Structure 1
């Protein structure tokens, strides 16, 4: 028995020694080098199936990891599964990769040294593993950096994509730069695909696993048997959803890889084969953004293609994915009406547009066509099942759907062609005569002409007067029915809205000009918010109509949309889209769960973009005058939208400042209101700065229930924390990254400067929030 035990120990020792030797034979030691052109050009895994080294691209090279193809199949090739610095330009053939004496992994090229891996300590060695993972090890033999932690477009068998991590597609099979699509393993447990060129919004998603609203830490896992699974790490790696079946009969012989392909589809492959075992969806045109702006996707012989919509041509000739632009000059909007002498309508069948329209209403097909032709903001109108959806350029997310019975009307521009080589017609040449009869006729004709002109003017004057009296009486009776045609808004009767709100029973809240009630239209199919105004009658019909025109012409995803109104007798009611998730004030100050940091950043950017639209993208600038969390509402997708234009002030197109009485809500009002100074768009910037601080900290600007007196006023306390380098206090040390937090607080502090000149424009605010502009250190707001 003892001899058997000793034999077992010896066998274990020699087996372990052999395994150790096998592993160390592929260890990459310090001072090791590979070269782009001359051998060695790569470091290989123990089995030789994976390689880390130089990848040819165009006339140069990139650094990456690939599956080595040892088959004799002419269709097979080395498959790249990871790339370093993928958006850097290719390097020349003289480039080298070195694990330096100091323990750094770098690439040396003509333009200097490029770091491949950011590591917390010096590496002692490296290894290209048989799993496809390239690993740097520290002095204690611990992994200090792994390529598996920084995936590009692919995960391999045994690899996980943790929550809040993303795969980005490559541009094409030969271009490894970041492409047009992204796949997010979201922190809420949902795996979602989006276009990559925009900040991900729920309305832009084109594929998802539908596993959101879970609790825990999530990951996407591709196991060694080819099974794609969504799991929860906090519950013993519990599988919450399996996307495909396993292929266990090939286990140990096959390398599985799941890739977000250049066409936006997520597919599972094996070895170096180009045939997929599984894919997320079958119709490639499902991928939003597959075709660029103003084009649509269609599948012919199982191959997707992009086509420009009528009235547009390719931006880049031969590049069908880059989108299209107008091939005519669009007339300027004047009063919201199109000059129909410069435009006409053409149609296309069975197209669908998944972008949000700026206008949607029930109407006939002919009315939809005419409505788009008359509306200068409309570039295309999709008509389907008695619903007219109007869109503006650029059009997004278009595709042909043979199952859809829709018609899309496209507005096409035309020009009047003038003949510049005209000659004078002989009939128009004046004949000069000097006969006496002619001289006698001249005064007679003059007197006759004057008499006739006076009579005609008198008749015309009486006609105009009577017409204006009739028109004025009709206007008093119908108030703003003409406005409805101009703005394409629905005119409701008071009875309709009273029935829709069940006698104004369910109050949603109170605004500065009245209460808001929940209503049901179209036999309960459409929820709306009905605002019952109380003070507009005193301000006069003319001002009410000008306000209506301003609000009715605003079309932006971050503004609550005005659907219609009622001006019956003394009643003034506005009908808005219903926002199912309440106000930002409810979410920040009264909700049991504080929104996470990413949600707060997204909401802050949504609000900033809405104000930017009012300030710079409307026909005339609009100062909202009452930006506060109560006036920021959240729709079913938690998108933030600005509401309550009851206090809005319109500027002339060339006007930058105006005098007006104090408006707004205490705590959000800019200092210049109190000084009776002319106000500008910067008053909204100040209010936004206060709201931004409230979003960051999830508390009110003035809070008497705090533990320390210096924290009562949020704006002052925020600057104190900023100056002391203690920003973590503002977010209760919830683990927010320091740089994004510092950026958000800096923007807020610049917005609330006492001097309006120091405040940025809303365009500057958006650029700073999105990281496109550097932010200098803000001074004390009250200095």
Structure 2
């Protein structure tokens, strides 16, 4: 069988062993030497075990040193078996380990405050011992253990060591860096020993190896199992209640063909979750010269391609003989060519597909045989192979298709756990490949067609001018007469403000079937779904139900606002109805619901690029209301429920019921607080002058919700710091931990940082610190730089 060479993390440090000293005094051979309180240790000295096969101290890592335990091997190479605080940066040669008078093992460096490496959990320690088992132990005066390295393994367990139920081993980053790597092996409390990628959700579909020892079939009584490596190299699952062996891993692992398990005192066994994610059993056999021979005995997997996440997103694994490598799918490039495990990204912009009238012309199809990956398709259809690949070209959601036995399965990006494998049923994967030459040819042909069309249009223009002029006069006279009648019938005084269709109450009652299907209810009335008889167009009818004075004021504000606004990111109003106290508005119907449904309730929230586009849509719509419309408008109720999605998933702002209109010489309006409190600026509570900054505060809350796909106030969270979204986001930003906001997603972290900074500027308590709507749009587009924002809750200075 095939196995790779043992990844021993070997570091040549000849002078290390030659200079090993035991500061507390030298013991007799094979008798533990005690480390007394007050003892200090610096590089290159160490605290050895009696046989000098194990040592505790500083070992070289990267450009500095780390604290750990190692096996001393042939030619004075070392094999690290445990590391303290493994994810901390390396320290310099001037660092020291001090066994303090209060029984703590403390690391002191020049870089920062001291760090506790070990301290007694069951009382203060009186002395420490580096044992021949590889276990570094702190003891109390009564010789009882108060701390030991065996209780907190990193990537290795040694003979006599137990991996308890609920505990795990985590692989190292690489052979020269023992910080946490990409894989972990968990002894689950259900009795199953499982290997997962480190960044997965640890679901069953993410596991790439397991013992299968969970469930009622194997463990009907639900006992806790521990993983134990005995002195003869046996890897056993033992019942935690009575230490009985229930499963022997050695019988189910891949053998190197050279197994010689015994209890020879000159042999040390270790089991390590190696850098590549494979769990392997090794033996170290020492001769009379203290040189060891290392043998690989057993491993969980033979083929690295069986490991999930061995290759990153949008890449696949292929094995040739004993070597496995990662490659990008057609149409993708490596994110980092020097570290291909990071995965691949598209070498074209998927937005081109959505903007194109004929997406099929932008791409070609490339195929790979016998491909598989772990994601679920969003569409499965019976179709011929040729049509399968072509169907992906015209579907902008499609990243790849897999054709198997007449079934065509479509997948969205990114693709996980890709590999080439031998399958019983042949499969063919098809990928979109951007074709710039083809696009160039299409553009040239389009220009020729455009020139011809323009020639025809210009030739006919003079003839059309007379027709258009005559038509304009007739249409104007018709509308003038219609609005004059409206002014005579209702004492509204607003006919000159808008150009909307006038509906009768009976028409809308019939269109909504007696106002039967209620879509929702706002502050001034209910909203119903209906259908206009002409053409069967679906509409939304808002009926005001407050008393006359209040409803009339609301209705007037709404009519003025909607009559003077027209923008692609605003919901279009089709008409009105005014019959006595009956006042209704007719809107276009949005098939895809609200932004709230999309980011709070959907099984799979929009991908990162879609969320960025939605945020820009909302910002541009609000910029129009603030600065570009004829009548400047303060919306006063910006929230995800009032942002609707049309058929093309374009975000549109709706509900002008709370709009406060400003003429060009006005700067604000005074109003009572209405709307949803989570989105209201602090000015609302003070009943102070409301300005455009009020909307910008609400927009900031919405931007942070779009980034994190969660509500601004969330009770069901892991820590109290996460309840208030804006505070949590600022804490993550200040700590440089923005990846916590978008778990399990592929995002552009530069764009993420820009979105977060813009959102934090918008939610400042002091309105004067919030940017203008124009600057918000420019910052979101990346046109201008975004400065570092202060804490939102600390921005107001109290005099």
Q: TM-score, normalised by structure 2?
A: 0.55
Whole-angstrom CA distance in 1 between matches of 2:321 and 2:162:
36
Q: Quickly say closer, same or farther: Cα 1:25–1:349, change in 2 above 3 A.
A: closer
5 Å-filtered alignment, 1:156-167, equals 156-167=158-169
Equivalent pair of 2:403/2:409 in contact (CA under 8 Å): yes
Q: 1:64 aligns with which of 61, 64, 68?
A: 68
> Which of these residues, 138, 142, 145, is aligned with residue 136 of structure 1?
138
Which of 31, 51, 57 does residue 53 from structure 1 map onto?
57
Report the CA distance between 1:687 and its aligned residue. 13
Instruction: Please tell me whether residue 83 in structure 1 is matched to residue 87 in structure 2.
Output: no
The answer as to whether partners of 1:747 and 1:768 remain within 8 angstroms in 2 is no
Query: In the alignment, what sits opposite 2:635?
Result: none
* 23 and 543 in structure 1: CA distance in 2 versus 1, 3 angstrom threshold: farther
User: How far apart in 1 are the matches of 2:40 and 2:62?
Assistant: 23
Equivalent positions of 1:726-745 (< 5 A) are 740=718, 743=719, 745=720
Q: CA deviation at 1:618?
A: 7.9
Out of 258, 262, 265, the position equivalent to 2:278 is 265
Moved more, 291-300 or 107-116: 107-116
Mapping of 1:405-554 within 5 angstroms? 405-415=426-436, 542=538
After superposition, what is the alpha-carbon deviation per residue over 1:229-274, rounded to whole angstroms, capped at 9, x for unaligned?
223313x124332211496534544211111111111111111655
RMSD in angstroms over aligned alpha carbons? 5.2
Q: Secondary structure at the match of 1:163?
A: coil
Q: How does 1:588-599 map to 2 (within 5 A)?
A: none
1:335 to partner: Cα distance? 7.3
CA distance in 2, matches of 1:365, 1:378: 16
Identify if the C-alpha distance between structure 1 residues 300 and 330 changes in structure 2 by more than 3 Å, giving closer, same or farther. Answer: same
2:197 to 190, 195, 198: 195
Alignment of 1:243 with 2:263, yes or no, is: no
- Counting matched residue pairs gives 523
Q: Who is 1:276 aligned against?
A: 296
Equivalent of residue 148 in structure 2, options 112, 125, 146 = 146
CA contact (8 A) 2:70 2:78 kept: yes
Partner of 1:92: 92
Query: Is contact 2:103–2:120 with CA below 8 Å preserved after alignment?
Result: no
Matches within 5 A, 1:302-701: 302-334=322-354, 339-403=359-423, 405-415=426-436, 542=538, 559-560=602-603, 610=605, 616=611, 650=645, 653=650, 655=652, 658=655
| Residues 84 and 363 (structure 1), Cα distance of their counterparts in 2 relative to 1, 3 Å cut | same
Q: C-alpha separation between the residues in 2 aligned to 1:229 and 1:158?
A: 11
Change (3 A) 1:174 1:388: same
Give the equivalent residue in structure 1 for 2:40.
33
Quick one: structure 1 residues 311 and 558, their matched pair in 2 at CA, closer, same or farther if it must change by over 3 Å?
Answer: farther
CA distance in 1, matches of 2:160, 2:298: 17
Report how far residue 159 of structure 1 moved.
1.0
The question of whether the paired residues in 2 share the 8 Å contact of 1:184 and 1:192 is answered with yes
Alpha carbons 2:600, 2:711 under 8 Å: kept: no
- 1:133 CA displacement: 0.8
Change (3 A) 1:660 1:452: closer
The answer as to whether partners of 2:531 and 2:539 remain within 8 angstroms in 1 is no
Contact (CA 8 Å) 1:135, 1:146: kept in 2 or not?
yes
Superposition deviation, residue 142 in structure 1: 2.2
> How do 1:721-760 and structure 2 match up within 5 A?
740=718, 743=719, 745=720, 747-748=722-723, 750=724
Report if aligned partners of 1:747, 1:769 keep a CA contact under 8 Å in 2: no
Q: Does the 8 Å CA contact 1:615/1:621 hold for their aligned counterparts?
A: no
Aligned position for 2:223: 216
Cα distance, 1:372–1:47 mapped onto 2, change above 3 Å: same
- The CA deviation at 1:222 is 1.5
Counterpart-to-counterpart distance in 2, 1:161 and 1:98: 29
Deviations 1:416-464 (A, max 9, x none): 5879xx9xxxxxxxxxxxxxxxxxxxxxx99x9669978xx99xxxxxx
Residues 272-314 of structure 1: CA deviation (Å, up to 9, x unaligned): 6554211112211111111122221111121111112222222
1:103 corresponds to 2:110: no
Asked if structure 1 preserves the Cα contact closer than 8 Å seen for 2:363 and 2:434, the reply is yes
Q: CA deviation at 1:336?
A: 9.4
Shift of 1:22: 7.1
The CA distance in 1 between the partners of 2:195 and 2:539, in whole Å, is 47
SS in 2 for 1:317: coil
Tell me if 1:301 matches 2:355.
no
In 1, the alpha carbon distance for the partners of 2:643 and 2:214 equals 39
The 1:32–1:194 alpha-carbon spacing in structure 2 relative to 1, beyond 3 Å, is same
After superposition, the Cα gap between the structure-2 partners of 1:322 and 1:770, relative to the gap in structure 1 and judged at 3 Å, is: closer
CA distance in 1, matches of 2:296, 2:348: 44
Instruction: For 1:546 and 1:207, locate their aligned partners in 2 and report how far apart those are by CA, in whole Å.
Output: 50
> Residue 170 of structure 2 aligns to a residue in which SS?
strand
The answer to whether the 8 Å contact 1:620/1:653 transfers is no
Identify if the C-alpha distance between structure 1 residues 414 and 613 changes in structure 2 by more than 3 Å, giving closer, same or farther: closer
CA displacement at 1:411 relative to structure 2: 0.8
What is residue 24 of structure 2 aligned with on the other side? none
Contact 1:622 1:650 in 2 (8 A): no
Residues 402 and 614 of structure 1: is their aligned pair in 2 closer, same or farther, counting only changes over 3 Å? closer
- 2:352 aligns to what SS in structure 1? coil
Report if aligned partners of 2:31, 2:50 keep a CA contact under 8 Å in 1. no
Contact 1:346 1:409 in 2 (8 A): yes
- Structure 1 position 548, deviation (Å): 5.7
Question: Shift in Å at residue 111 of structure 1?
Answer: 1.6
Structure 2 alignment gaps of length 5 or more: 1-26, 252-258, 285-291, 445-454, 469-516, 520-527, 541-587, 619-639, 659-674, 685-693, 745-752, 761-790, 794-799
Change (3 A) 1:769 1:101: farther
Shift of the 654–450 alpha-carbon distance from structure 1 to 2, 3 Å rule, reads closer
Quote the Cα distance in structure 1 between the aligned partners of 2:712 and 2:416: 34
Match of 2:485 in 1: none
Give the 3-state SS of the residue equivalent to 1:177 in structure 2.
strand
Alignment partners' CA distance in 1, 2:124 and 2:88: 25
Q: Is the 8 A contact 2:705 2:712 kept in 1?
A: no
CA deviations over 1:707-743 (Å, ceiling 9, x no partner): xxxxxxxxxxxxxxxxxxxxxxxxxxxxxxxxx5xx1
Q: Alpha carbons of 1:250 and 1:224: their partners in 2 closer, same or farther (altered >3 Å)? A: closer
8 Å Cα contact 2:377-2:411 kept in structure 1: yes
Q: Secondary structure at the match of 2:375?
A: coil
After superposition, the Cα gap between the structure-2 partners of 1:536 and 1:131, relative to the gap in structure 1 and judged at 3 Å, is farther
What's 1:116 paired with? 117
**What SS does structure 2 have at the residue aligned with 1:277?**
strand
CA contact (8 A) 1:31 1:99 kept: yes
Residues in 2 aligned to 1:311 and 1:346: alpha-carbon distance in whole angstroms: 8
Q: Is the Cα–Cα contact under 8 Å of residues 518 and 529 in structure 2 kept in the other structure?
A: no
Distance 1:32 1:451 in 2: 97
1:760 and 1:110 mapped to 2: Cα distance? 32
